[in-house]
Structure 1
Amino acid sequence: MELLFGVSNFGKIEHAEITLSDFTLFVGDNNSGKTFVMQLLYGVLKELRNAKPVLKGIEEHGEKELTYGVEWLKNVETQMNDYLSKNKKKIIRGIFHKDIAIEQLYFHMVNMDEIYVCEVNECEYDEFSGDEEGVVKKVQGMDADIYIADVNVKSREKKSSILFGYRPDRESLKQILAGQMWKMILLLGNTENVVGRQKEDTLFLPASRTGLQLLSKYFFAERDRKAVYEIDNFDFDFGDEDGEDIKDVTDNELGLTMPIYDFLQFLLRYNRRAGLVQRNKNLLRFIERHLIDGQVKHVGDEIYYHPDGMPEEKEDIPVYLASSLVNEITPIIKALSGGKNYRYIFYDEVETCLHPLKQGEMARLIVRLVNSGRRMVVSTHSDTMAGKLNNLLLLSFSEDSEEERKEKLKKLGLSKEDLLSDAKVHVYQFVNRPDGSSYVEELKFQTMPYVGYDFKLFMRSLDELYHETDIILK
């Protein structure tokens, strides 16, 4: 299943329908609305994640089985669209901290062919007291195994298990599981194994990540200083004579959108987690060997860079003195090694600060991130990045024999890990109009002739460059 989000007359965007899947790519002009739409999608996903669970349409099969099928999915879609329609202005204000015109905001579930089946069983497990005696007590709980089945196929696949530390009543159970099913659909990821743990598994990496990273500590120190000052000098004026509330002191005085603020929070709360480093060791090794040519080290709150070839006994380089490339890549290293295993990553202007050859390596990393099970929403206005991604997709979707593919990979210095494995891809081109508005069109993967995605905007730029050179050399 895929999720399609639509907007009309949103800021400068006349109309856009974006399908979020395994890999979604935005290309286009500067100031065409790519970042604008990306931040909107991030914020809407976050808003809907906390929406009230839908109970209508849940099928009960005895005491042990609950089915969240097509009827339930349709009810979810209807209720969530009602919510978006009624609250779109509030949602926009929450994301951008500004009133921005928007006519429509909606979403659809594409291909409602999945059924979510929950098998519930009572269980008993041991709970340790944690003191020196290690007292164990028996806890009456419940577990729910979640399966996903295709409506056209009888077989089903176990997706996850949820363990309850208590035994909820029937209605509470239906509501909790409905919420978990909705998060599975919305974020296209696994549910939590223990109910009650809330983990934010969506990350937004903004285009300005290098500067934000270098100044993040100052930002939060300044924010705290201002908050203390406001409290110390607050005169307890609760409004004017007309009952108008005074302006909240936290009302976006720092001039940041919600996704940018969340990114700063991500930097502030980073804490290296050995288990996650081990799980993502291949991705981290690829970054070290192919992108930054060295290692990023965290010592307390400080970050250092150790280039390849530099003797171990030599002092590491503080990251603020390292190259812009190292600073640019550090946030994705943190995402793969910190306290949370981010499964949904929005990566704006992915080519920033990268030499064309390094852009090729970044394209390989994006594919590997998708293959690791992460959902990627990526933007670029680099013809090099778009071309490299297109080449990797051409190889991935080709009908070459195994031997032919191996030979091509060898000649190109690539490996099978650089090919998308069973992933759905959607590519969108953002185009500026003369009147200042922009429109969004989905590009189709062309197989006849076999050229992949035709990035006309980039081709026009290359044609103009060739024409200019031709005139100069004549």
Structure 2
Amino acid sequence: MVVLNDKDVRQKTGVILEQKSNLMGEETGMDKKWTLHVENFAKIKSADVTIAPLMCFVGDNNSGKSYLMSILWGILTLGKDIFPKKPSEAKAYKQCESWLKEHLNTETALTDDAIDLYITWFNELLSTQKKALVKKIFNYEVEIEKLKITHYERNHPIKMVWDASASRYSVTGGYIKFPEVEAANREELLRMNAYICWNLLMEGIAAPWYTPVVKGRRNGEPIYLPASRTGFMLTYAQLIENSLQISFSPELQDNTSTLTLPYVDFLQLITKFEINKKDSKKYAKIIEYIEKQMTKGNLSVKKDMMPVIKYQPEGSEKELPLYVASSIVSEISPLLLVLKSGINFNAMIIEEPEAHLHPELQQKMARLLINMMNLGIPVWITTHSDTILQHINNMMKLKNHVRSSELQKEYGYRKEDLLSREDVQMYQFVPDNNGKTHLEALEATKYGFVVPTFNNALEKIVEEVYAFQED
């Protein structure tokens, strides 16, 4: 139980309640940004989400945070499936086809007008297939009226180039490269158009258009760590075994999965866990930070029919099964093992990263999420933690502080711990009187983001503190 005296109240209310307006940065940390617009989707009346290197969803329970994050994940993961297999006669596609035919074998900058052609085509595909896409993501028919991409922007221009010596399509830096062609038929034009469209929207945040399978490992797909990951980590063997029985037993064919696709994907991710020191070098500092500052021990994986995960506490020579380890170990094990396995992913989505964590560890979790973002991995979270959000505010303030270098040394922070305002988007789900919610972008000043959902609850608690104090 926390007891607040008058001094505690002033300090606590001064943390978040002093924040009030907004100054948008000119760039995000990614090379592109776009906004996902949805209307009448499940509980959500309307939402406009502009992707960013670090994105946070806050709001009441059952307000739609996981729904919206799941559909973002679904578009990045399944978006390639909505492209047609044969050349289309639709107007939006024919305009892309005509533009490409005019620019074959010619180095060409993709102007805003040209990019708009491809965004319009993608939106038409989303519109006609949104119900099927949503059903695939949620394993259930969820209401959705509108789904589209808007407000596309790039930090740097992109060109289409042609190479006589090239044998395949490629994308690098500010170029989309194709082999030179003498004459392209409609099937070839479709393949090139789909490649252009996908890379304009998804390059660097989703899997590449052509995704080679290397020893069954993932190649760039975004990772989704669900809120119930501890339960999955303790029961994955049984869950996967049951799934295989349903797949191969004729008498069980009528059974359908009761999991959404992000959860199924998470189970499949667990089967890829291993220890890969070579491919995990990129995350060496974060791995060390987790094991020394959070789990206080090492996680190992033995590859069998399914991974066997063991935890070795620091100072001990004994390895423990995951189910007898502390909840912090099982909770953070998926993130740690993703990094230790060297799994290739281009974005990380985490529901409630604060789950099972003491406030001190919540702050450390926020620190490692910022570290991941500063390595170039977009990190998108849903959260109920004012501690995580306050740390985000603190790191934005520290970066711009007149004594930043001095304070970094004093409090043990480094460059990779700091955060630019333009790299962050924060959204709150706001309920209406009809049981629906809409999404609001939260404001920020030099003090950080205003978070009404936390402020309102805190004000109520503070009011009770004063009311219940004896004279």
Instruction: Classify the TM-score, shorter chain.
Output: 0.7 to 0.9
Deviation at 1:356, TM superposition (A): 0.1
The letter of the residue matching 1:457 is: T
The gaps in structure 1 that reach 5 residues or longer are 124-140, 148-157, 235-247
Q: Does residue 217 in structure 1 map to residue 237 in structure 2?
A: yes
Residues 1:22 and 1:191: Cα distance change in structure 2 (over 3 Å): closer
Change (3 A) 1:417 1:192: same
CA distance in 2, matches of 1:295, 1:168: 57
Query: What's the Cα RMSD here?
Result: 2.9
1:84-143 per-position Cα deviation (integer Å, ceiling 9, x unaligned): 2222221221111212222211111432575422433344xxxxxxxxxxxxxxxxx536
Letter in structure 2 aligned against 1:444? E
Counterpart position of 1:453:
449
Counterpart of 1:102 in structure 2: which amino acid?
I
1:350 is displaced (CA, Å) by 1.2
- In the aligned structure 1, how far is the partner of 2:83 from the partner of 2:398? 43
TM-score of the pair, normalised by structure 1: 0.80
Q: Distance in 2 between matches of 1:442 and 1:259?
A: 25
Q: Are 2:365 and 1:362 aligned?
A: yes
The amino acid across from 1:408 in the alignment is L
Residue 361 of structure 2 corresponds to residue 346 of structure 1: no
2-structure distance, mates of 1:265, 1:176: 29
CA deviation after TM superposition for structure 1 residue 406, in Å: 1.0
The answer (yes or no) to whether the contact 2:309–2:321 under 8 Å persists in 1 is yes
Cα distance in 2 for partners of 1:64, 1:195 equals: 23
**Preserved CA contact (<8 Å) 2:206 2:346:** no
Deviations 1:411-430 (A, max 9, x none): 33322210126852211011
CA distance in 2, matches of 1:159, 1:191: 17
Distance 2:120 2:380 in 1: 25
Name the structure 2 match of 1:286: 289
Using the size of structure 2 for normalisation, the TM-score is 0.80
Count of residue pairs the alignment pairs up = 419
**Percent sequence identity over aligned pairs:** 26
- Cα drift, residue 78 of structure 1: 1.0
Could you say which structure has the higher strand fraction? 1
1:217-296 to 2 correspondences below 5 Å: 217-229=237-249, 231=250, 233=251, 249=254, 253-296=256-299
Tell me the distance in 2 between the aligned counterparts of 1:101 and 1:316.
Answer: 48
Query: How far is 1:290 from its partner?
Result: 2.2
Helix, strand or coil at the partner of 1:351: coil
Change (3 A) 1:40 1:62: closer
Kept in 2: contact 1:160–1:191 (CA 8 A): no
The residue number in structure 1 matching 2:27 is none
Matched with 1:327 is 330
- Three-state SS of the structure 1 residue aligned to 2:119 is helix
1:411 aligns with 2:414: no
Q: Is the 8 A contact 2:274 2:301 kept in 1?
A: no
1:2, distance to aligned residue in structure 2 (A):
0.8
Q: Which amino acid aligns with 2:47?
A: A
- Distance of aligned partners of 1:178 and 1:292 in 2 relative to their CA distance in 1, 3 Å threshold: farther
Work out which of the two has the higher radius of gyration on C-alpha atoms and give 1 or 2.
Answer: 1
Is the Cα contact below 8 Å between 1:394 and 1:451 reproduced in 2? yes
For structure 2, the 5+ residue unaligned runs are 1-31, 85-92, 214-218
Preserved contact between residue 7 and residue 17 of structure 1 (Cα < 8 Å): yes
Q: Which has the higher contact order (CA 8 A, sep 6+)?
A: 2
For residues 429 and 202 of structure 2, the distance between their equivalents in structure 1, rounded to whole angstroms, comes to: 24
Going from structure 1 to structure 2, the CA distance change for 1:192 and 1:59 (only over 3 Å counts) comes to: farther
Following superposition of structure 1 onto structure 2, how do residues 397-436 of structure 1 map, counting pairs within 5 Å? 398=400, 400-401=401-402, 404-420=403-419, 424-436=423-435
Q: Please, which of 49, 65, 73 is the counterpart of residue 42 of structure 1?
A: 73
Match of 2:202 among 168, 187, 191: 187
Amino acid at match of 1:212: F
